Each structure stands twice: as C-alpha cells, then as structure tokens.
C-alpha cells in the first residue's frame, strides 16, 4: 500500500459526503431570509420557521457529524434570537441551553475522533520525512557519479517518483493537521460563545425577576419600564421592539405596550409621538439586554 493511499484512509472525516440536502444546506438557504425578517421585527415568523426545521432535519442530525452539529447549533441560536425579538425570553434561554449543550457535545465528540487522526498524521510524518531524507541522500549520491548506467538511471527515476510521492503525502498530512487544529479551535469558540450567551441571559432574567419583585406587581414594573423604553430613543429599533414585546408578554392587558410596538412596526401612531417629551430625571435607562451573537 503506497503512502498516498495511507493518507487518504487517515482523513475520511475531513471530506463531507455528497447526498441529500442537509441541515447545513437548509440553514444557508434560510439565513438571509431570517435576518431580513428579524430586521423587520417579526420574531414569530422566524420562530415558526426554525422550530419546523429543528423538528424535521434537526431530529435526523448525526451526533458524529461535526458539520451538521454546528448547523444545529446555528439554527438553535437563530431560534433564540427570534424568541428574544418575540419577547419570549424564557424560550430564548431554552434554545440557548440546547445550543450550548449541543456545542459542548460536538466539541467533545469531534475532539476525541480528530485527536486520534491528528496523532496518526504526526506519526506518519516522522516516518515519511525520514524516508524522504534517506531517498534524497541516495539521489545525491547517484548524481555525484560521473556516468550512470541504464540500471542506475532506472533506479534514479524510481527514487524520484518515491520522493515525490512522499513529499506530496507530507504536504497533505501537514495540511490535514492545520485543518484539524482550525476545526477544533472553531468548535471550542462555538462552545465558549454559546456558554457565555446562555449565562448572560440567565443573569439578565434573574435581574428582571428581582426588579419585578421590587416593583411589587408585574403591572407596575411593566408600566415603569415602558416609560424608560419609550424615552430611550437612542436604542436600536429592533431592541425597542424586543423590549416592547417582552413587556407585552409580561402584561398582555397593557394596551400602551401594544400601541408602542405597533408604532415601531408602522402599524399605528409613531413611537416618537408615544414617547414622553422629556424623560423624568430620576428614571434610569433600562438595562441593556445581552446580545446574541449571529451564527
């Protein structure tokens, strides 16, 4: 078995098989539409779309397929962003928890598999470099001889082919090691990002709960917070929509919340007209919700 054949056997997981449409394909197709839909402030539509995808293709994802597992994390992250825009922040945390768990599992599974493959490449590189060095020495020895017989020329050609094959194998193995290291680094960053986002949102909702308790009632908390959100015109429109919908979620009977969100969406009186002329001096700006990193 030649060196190149050994190389191809040792890196099968670096090549993604061709086949039916995957979750990764579906995510790439839907990503721009989801982004534009969230930009319009329609979190419910993106929630519906991502949930349908997770129930269908998401259920069939192989736990050993690192690329599909990454796509699963990305869809879950998108679902979490949609939940935030829709005001369902508890659901966002549930999606983030799934994303974090999936990213952790993917890092562990892929790390275990690819660490073995990486070790195989390192071991082969030692042997191949040693064989290549010896072959180069033999070629140099032949080249120093004044006249080469037909047999020597044939030997020289064989040695050159052998050396070229080994150099190609060495180059491919070094490339494979770089690819493996890059992949494992990306998976580790995925894991860290999702873990941080989950922790930030858990802390944010914990503080919201404390503020509601301090206000005495959900209704009073919502009324006070709405005034702050209205006054904070510097906050991006999407964040104001998400905050407005959150307040609607907490107190569905508050009509002012509905009018505020409708105004931002262009469905009624403008949000600017709904904002107070001047924010009360003692009223602090609402805490900034942690951002979800785009997949």
SS3 61: coil
Residue 135 in any domain: the answer is: yes
DSSP letter (8 states) at residue 253 = T
Report CA torsion sign: 243, 249, 253, 255.
positive
Q: Does 264 score more than 90 pLDDT?
A: yes
Boundary residue ending a domain (199, 233, 255): 199
Query: What's the confidence (pLDDT) of residue 284?
Result: 52
- 26 in the same domain as 146: yes
Residue 126 in any domain: the answer is: yes
User: What is the domain extent for residue 240?
Assistant: 216-295
- 235 in the same domain as 144: no
Query: What's the confidence (pLDDT) of residue 155?
Result: 87
Residue 163 in any domain: the answer is: yes
- 192 in the same domain as 88: yes
Residue 10 in any domain: the answer is: no
- 251 in the same domain as 117: no
Residue 238 in any domain: the answer is: yes
Q: Could you give the CA distance from residue 206 to residue 290 in angstroms, rounded to a whole number?
A: 13
- 158 in the same domain as 291: no
- 244 in the same domain as 173: no
102, exposed or middle or buried, with CB in 10 Å at 0-12, 13-18, 19+?
A: buried
Domain count, the chain: 2
Report CA torsion sign: 164, 168, 171, 174.
negative
For 247, other C-beta atoms within 10 Å of its C-beta total 25
Query: What's the confidence (pLDDT) of residue 19?
Result: 56
- 184 in the same domain as 41: yes
Q: What is the pTM of this model?
A: 0.80
Residue 263 in any domain: the answer is: yes
27-85 confidence digits (pLDDT tens): 999 999 999 999 999 999 999 999 999 998 888 999 999 999 999 999 999 999 999 99
Query: What's the confidence (pLDDT) of residue 20?
Result: 67
Boundary residue ending a domain (173, 199, 225): 199
Query: What's the confidence (pLDDT) of residue 270?
Result: 45
- 280 in the same domain as 167: no
Residue 206 in any domain: the answer is: no
- 236 in the same domain as 137: no
Boundary residue ending a domain (172, 199, 226): 199
Q: Could you give the CA distance from residue 71 to residue 75 in angstroms, rounded to a whole number?
A: 6
Residue 204 in any domain: the answer is: no
In order, the DSSP letters of 79-115 are HHHHHHHTT-HHHHHHHHHHHHHHHHHHHHHHHHHHH
- 242 in the same domain as 172: no
- 269 in the same domain as 170: no
pLDDT range class, residue 288, cuts 50, 70, 90: low
Mean pLDDT of 8-12: 39
- Region of poorest pLDDT, from 74-83, 133-142, 157-166, 279-288: 279-288
Q: Does 295 score more than 50 pLDDT?
A: no
- 192 in the same domain as 84: yes
Q: Does 100 score more than 90 pLDDT?
A: yes
């Amino acid at each position: 078995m030649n060196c190149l054949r050994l190389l191809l056997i040792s890196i099968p997981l670096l090549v993604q098989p061709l086949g039916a449409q995957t979750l990764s394909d579906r995510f790439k197709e839907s990503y721009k539409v989801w982004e534009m839909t969230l930009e319009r402030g329609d979190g419910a539509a993106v929630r519906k779309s991502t949930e349908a995808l997770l129930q269908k293709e998401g259920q069939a994802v192989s736990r050993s397929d690192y690329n599909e597992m990454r796509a699963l994390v990305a869809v879950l992250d998108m679902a979490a962003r949609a939940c935030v825009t829709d005001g369902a922040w508890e659901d966002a945390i549930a999606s983030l928890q799934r994303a974090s768990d999936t990213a952790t599992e993917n890092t562990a599974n892929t790390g275990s598999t690819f660490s073995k493959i990486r070790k195989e490449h390192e071991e082969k590189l030692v042997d191949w470099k040693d064989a290549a060095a010896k072959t180069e020495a033999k070629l140099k020895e032949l080249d120093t001889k004044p006249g080469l017989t037909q047999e020597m020329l044939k030997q020289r050609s064989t040695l050159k082919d052998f050396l070229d094959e080994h150099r190609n194998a060495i180059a491919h193995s070094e490339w494979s090691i770089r690819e493996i290291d890059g992949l494992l680094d990306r998976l580790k960053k995925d894991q860290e990002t999702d873990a941080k986002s989950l922790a930030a949102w858990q802390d944010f909702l914990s503080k919201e709960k404390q503020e509601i308790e301090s206000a005495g009632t959900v209704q009073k908390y919502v009324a006070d917070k709405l005034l702050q959100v209205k006054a904070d015109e510097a906050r991006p429109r999407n964040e104001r929509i998400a905050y407005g919908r959150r307040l609607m979620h907490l107190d569905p009977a508050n009509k002012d919340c509905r009018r505020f969100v409708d105004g931002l969406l262009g469905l009624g009186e403008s949000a600017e007209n709904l904002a107070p002329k001047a924010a009360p001096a003692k009223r602090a700006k609402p805490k900034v919700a942690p951002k979800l990193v785009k997949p």
